[in-house]
Structure formats: C-alpha cells, structure tokens
A and B are shown apart, each in its own frame.
Chain A
Amino acid sequence: MAEEAPNRGRARALSPDAMNRMLALLNEDPGRAEQEFLALRRKLVKFFEWRGCTMPEDLADESIFRVASQLGEGLVIQATQPSCYFYGVARNVLREHWDAARKEAVEIDCVDQERHLSIDPDEMAERESERERREQLIERIEMCMKGMPPDARAMLMEYFGQTGHDKIVARNQIAQRMNISINALRLRVLRLKQDLRQCVGACPTDE
C-alpha cells in the first residue's frame, strides 16, 4: 500500500515570518528555539512511527507546516506548552492519513485477485540469500565496532553477549562498574546503538 501523506505533492511555501513566529513560540531565545524545534520534530516523527505510519517524517513535517502556516496567518496560540498544540495538529494529520489510506485500501481490494500472487519468486530468491546478507551485516557491524572507543565496544559486547537471567546480571555488573544507574546505562546503550545504526547504514554495500 503506497503511503500518501496529506497534502503531499502540493506546492509548499512557508514564509520566513511564519517560521520565525513558530520558533518564537517554542522559545524566545533563537538558539534554544532551534534546538527545541529539532527535538519537537523528532518527537513528532516518533509519534507517527509509533502509530504505524511508514513515512513518519513526511507526516511530522506536514504537522509542523500546518502550525507554522496558521501562525503566519496571525493565529495566536495561548497554550502554556506549545508542543501540545503541535500534538493536536499531528493527530488531525494522522486521522486524515488513515482516512486516505483506507480509501486506497478499498481501491486495491477491487483489483483482480489473480494479480496478487502469494508466491513471489523474488521472495524465494531473497530467502536464499538471507544468510549471506546477514553475514555481510555482521561484517559491517564488526567494521563499525572497530571505529568505536574500546571501552564502548567491550561494553556492547558484554551487554549483548548474554541472554535471559545472565543478561540482567551482566547489566547490573556493567552499571556498577561504570558507577551509573541502570537507566543511565540503558540510555547510553541506546545512544551507542543509534551511532552504530548510522554507521552500518552508511557502510558501502556489496549488493
């Protein structure tokens, strides 16, 4: 099912004034306002992702565009937490997105069923090469790990090299050794994994 963001493909023009008003709404300090804008956008992207949208960034941008447009048209937002207003708009965008997706699904259902073959020869071939791709992925991870600080690499190895109860014990030991809380350790691992994903994604592929 192809995803169609609301108003996608429509010509967009956001005036500098609207953009500035939006940033001022987030924070009076322009430097902090930009940071808050990026954080807010990230949250909106995750919101759409968690709601199962396949193109969450487009929908987050659509939400931001709508708020900024309204501000450019003179709307005054009285909310103590402006992000809540963005959230409200994002929910409307999500609803419109699902309505559009539902209509599209009906149209697809009308298509002759014989055109939707369940046996895909390409998929069979893909399964064949799954193991090889996995090996390539591990090679990339290995490569990215070598670029990490040795203590971070050792920590990830220990963190992910255990299962079940041993995993819990290992995490407690790591946190004690690093003199940080378990939650801080979890956050640190999240950051390292985000870096790792970025690195793996940026690696040249053989495919």
Chain B
Amino acid sequence: MQPGRTEEDKLIVGYLLGDLSPEGKEQIELRCITDDEFFERILVIEDELIDDYARVELPPVEHDLFERNFLTSPERRRKVEIAKGLVEWACRSRGLAAPGAPQAAPGGWWKSVWSYMTVDRVRYPRPPFALMAATMCIVLLGGSWLIRQHLRQRSRFDQAVTEVAALRQQAIDLQEQVGSQRARGDELSRKLRERESVMSSQQPEQELSAQPRRPSVETFSVAPLVRGAQGEPLVIHPGTQLIDLQVSPGSKDRYESFRAAIATPDGQMVWMQANIQPPSSSGLKAISLFVPADALGSGDFILTLSGRSPDGTDEVVTEYALRIVWEPARER
C-alpha cells in the first residue's frame, strides 16, 4: 500500500491513524459523507493499512500510530487477526513463510542471538538482562584491550623502523664526511708539496736546514662574533703558509654561494674570496677558508661571511672576530 501513495492517500492514512489536524479531519469527513467514491477509497486504504500491519510492512511511525490510535476497538483487533490469518493462509498455500510468523533461525555465529531475539518469550523467558549485559561488557572490554595492545605494538614497531632508518642515514653521512675529509687532506698535502717545492727552490739550503719543521697549514675553527666577547687568539707558528679557517654558516640551505672577507677593525680589507660553494654537497657542515698566512699579521681582524640568495641578493650571514698572534720567532 505504501509505494505509490498519492498526497490524498497520505492524508487519508494520516486521518485513519489519528495524525491529522482537526481541520484536516473535518475536510475528509465532509467529503466522505457527500462523496461515495471517496468513502469507498477510505475503506480500501483502511483495509490495506490493516493488511500492511498484519504483514509487518508499515513504516515504524505508522506502525506506532496504528497500535496507539487505530487498534482501539475489539472489532478492529479482530480485523487485524483475520488479516494475519489470511496472509498466513495465502503464504502457506504458496509454500512460503508468512511475515511475522516464527522463522527458521539462520545459520552462522549469530544464530544463537537470533534465537534469543525470536524465541517464544512466554514459554522460554529470557535470561536475566544483567547477565547478558555483563557478558556483552566483558566481550567489548576484552576486544578493545586487544585492539589497544595491537595498536601499541604497531606503534613501537613503526618507531623502531624509523630509528633504524635514521641510524643508517647517519652512517652514510659519516662515511661521506670521512671521504670528503680524506679528499681535502689529499688536496692540502698536494698544495703543501707544491708550495714547499717553490720555497725550497727560493731559499738557501742552509737556512732551510736551520728552521724547525713546522706545519705549513694551521687549521682553526672559528666561532661567530659575540658582542662584548673576545675569542681565543689564533696562534700562528712560524713557517705557516696557509691558515684554514673553518666557519659554519647556520642557514646554508638558503644560499647558492658564499663570500668571505677579512678586514681590519677600521675597515681595511686584507683578504676576500667569492663564489664559495655551500658545504652541503660534500656532506660537511663547515666551510674551509684557506687564507694565505702572509695576508694576516698579528692583530685583530673581522671575518665577514655573506650569502648569495637565489634571487642574486647578498646578505651578511655572520661575522667572526679573529685575533691573530704570530709566534715571536717568526714575527714579521
């Protein structure tokens, strides 16, 4: 009956189920009393409502209204009984199960639940609700505990995997650093040999033999300038030809290249190098600035490191205070 209901049918259903305004009721009743066809239509719809209720096919709201407002007289209850009997007779005659009639419990794990819900309550009363509720609580709590445990284990596993990957990456970085340091050492050795060969050709043999053997390259790691503070002096030994100043530009990724300049405190530039590549390519965090030792005498200097952005602009990255002290023996 419900599919294809017209608006008027819906009004009639509302009227029969007591779900219509007083004005709506009056309109239907007046039409019903003067229009025989309309009256017959209400009778048909009323009968079909009874059939649908008997078949358990009414929507929940109408089902409730039917029980509350329609099943108010023994006569109507009798009609419903007959309708149920008629449906069951028709279904039995056709070898079908009648709707609302006891059904065979379906198979599967929910068979027992189905049986519990559909069993004859008068003959087989339900077990106490508290027992059922307690069982359900145990099942739910146990299930949630297992799920929580599983998620915790999964989280630990993921964390371990992440840590292993990080360690592996660190090992790779270290290997790269070692390689680049070795390459840099080789390069320095080569430069030193060249310089030594030049010097040996210029200096008398006796003078060379009188000088103590000193490292030709002095390496220093310098820290950025802190206002009001003065770092340790960089002591240069006699015979040093190159000073390796290692600086660490913090935000190296922002710059395509760097520029280093050393000037006296009064602004006189004594050394400068441009187009210094960022250290990322070599895996190092510091930049090595090879400054000819003879460019720096004893005294204070300021090393300025500037970065060049991709858009071509230069900006000062950091400044370093340098105090150079030559050992007296070689003071020039």
Asked if A and B bind, the verdict is yes
Which residues does chain A contribute within 8 Å of B90, judged by CB atoms? Answer: 156-161
* CB proximity of A10 to chain B, nearest CB, Å: 24
Q: Is the CB of A39 within 8 A of B122?
A: no
CB nearest to B123 among chain A residues: A128
Q: Within 8 Å of chain A (Cβ to Cβ): is B251?
A: no
Interface stretch, picked from B34-42, B197-205, B252-260, is: B34-42
Q: Is the CB of A197 within 8 A of B44?
A: no
Which residues does chain A contribute within 8 Å of B47, judged by CB atoms? Answer: 189-190, 193
Q: Within 8 Å of chain A (Cβ to Cβ): is B192?
A: no
* CB proximity of B8 to chain A, nearest CB, Å: 12
Mask of B63-102 contacts with A, CB within 8 angstroms, 1/0: 0000001001111101101111111111111101001000
CA separation between A134 and B75, bound complex, in Å?
16
Q: Within 8 Å of chain B (Cβ to Cβ): is A18?
A: no
CB nearest to B36 among chain A residues: A39
Give the interface centre of A40, A43, A54, A140 by most chain B CB atoms within 10 Å.
A43
The dominant DSSP class at the A interface is: helix
Q: Which A112-169 residues sit within 8 Å CB-CB of chain B? A: 124, 127-128, 134, 137-138, 140-142, 145, 156-161, 163-165, 168
Q: How large is the interface on A (under 10, 10 to 19, 20 to 34, 35 or more residues)?
A: 35 or more
CA separation between A160 and B89, bound complex, in Å?
9
Closest 5 CB pairs of A and B: A160-B90, A161-B90, A161-B94, A137-B85, A87-B33
Known contacts A40-B33, A46-B43, A84-B30, then 10 further A-B pairs from the complex at CB < 8 Å, ordered by chain A residue: A43-B32, A46-B42, A54-B73, A54-B74, A87-B30, A134-B81, A141-B86, A163-B57, A183-B44, A196-B82
Q: Would you mind naming 18 contact pairs between A and B with Cβ atoms under 8 Å apart? A: A46-B32, A46-B39, A50-B15, A52-B72, A52-B73, A83-B33, A87-B30, A138-B92, A140-B85, A141-B82, A141-B86, A157-B89, A163-B99, A189-B47, A190-B47, A193-B86, A196-B82, A200-B85
- Chain B interfacial positions (CB closer than 8 Å to A): 3-4, 15-16, 18, 29-30, 32-34, 36, 39-44, 46-48, 51, 55, 57, 69, 72-76, 78-79, 81-94, 96, 99, 122
- Chain A interfacial positions (CB closer than 8 Å to B): 39-40, 43-44, 46-47, 49-50, 52-54, 56, 81, 83-84, 86-87, 124, 127-128, 134, 137-138, 140-142, 145, 156-161, 163-165, 168, 183, 186-187, 189-190, 193, 196-197, 200-201
